[in-house]
């Protein structure tokens, strides 16, 4: 099971999002694959052993990028538009792909071309977005 922390500053947005995802996980019967908990970003360093990966909301991107501590878990900043339509499958896919990219290392990770979350336009998982881009290329070639 993949344990995901949803983080932000004080917890209003991340608390809401983590509760929504936890409830959707049960509705979609995915509780054997993933769990979501809220951890305020200022507590993450001390609580990182409770989870496998942390996903932070984009409005604290400057705090995450300026944090110089060495984390043992991957930290991923969720793009703004992905937060708009939260789907458990998208968060799970992104977490799995970031975990594979991290390969046991901790610290901040992002997908290629997504260094700045404000410019990311996808509304789905990165994996699904890549598939969509491939399909568009195939259609153009025809």
CB atoms within 10 A of CB 68: 5
Name the average pLDDT for the chain: 93
pLDDT confidence of residue 86: 87
DSSP code at position 78 = P
Q: Over 90: is that where the pLDDT of 85 sits?
A: no
Q: 2-141 has which CATH code? A: 3.40.50.2300
> Rounded distance, CA 4 to CA 111, Å?
17
Residue % of the chain over a pLDDT of 90: 81
Among 21, 82, 85, CA closest to 57? 82
131, containing H or E segment: helix 126-141
pLDDT confidence of residue 81: 86
User: If 0-12 CB within 10 Å is exposed, 13-18 middle and 19+ buried, where does residue 12 land?
Assistant: exposed
Query: Residues 89-117: what's their mean pLDDT?
Result: 96
> Rounded distance, CA 99 to CA 9, Å?
23
Q: Where are the domains of the chain?
A: 2-141
pLDDT confidence of residue 82: 84
Among 46, 51, 75, CA closest to 3? 51
pLDDT confidence of residue 142: 66
Query: pTM of whole model > 0.95?
Result: no
């Amino acid at each position: 099971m993949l344990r995901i922390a949803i983080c932000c500053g004080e917890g209003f947005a991340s608390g809401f999002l983590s509760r929504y995802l936890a409830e959707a996980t049960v509705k979609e019967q995915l509780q054997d694959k993933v769990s979501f908990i809220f951890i305020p970003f200022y507590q993450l360093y001390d609580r990182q052993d409770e989870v496998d990966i942390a996903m932070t909301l984009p409005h604290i991107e400057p705090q995450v990028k300026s944090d110089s501590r060495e984390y043992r878990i991957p930290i991923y900043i969720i793009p703004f538009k992905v937060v708009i339509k939260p789907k458990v499958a998208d968060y799970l896919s992104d977490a799995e792909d970031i975990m594979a990219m991290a390969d046991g290392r901790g610290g901040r990770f992002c997908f290629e071309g997504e260094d700045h979350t404000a410019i990311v336009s996808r509304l789905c998982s990165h994996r699904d977005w890549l598939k969509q881009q491939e399909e568009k290329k195939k259609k153009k070639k025809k």
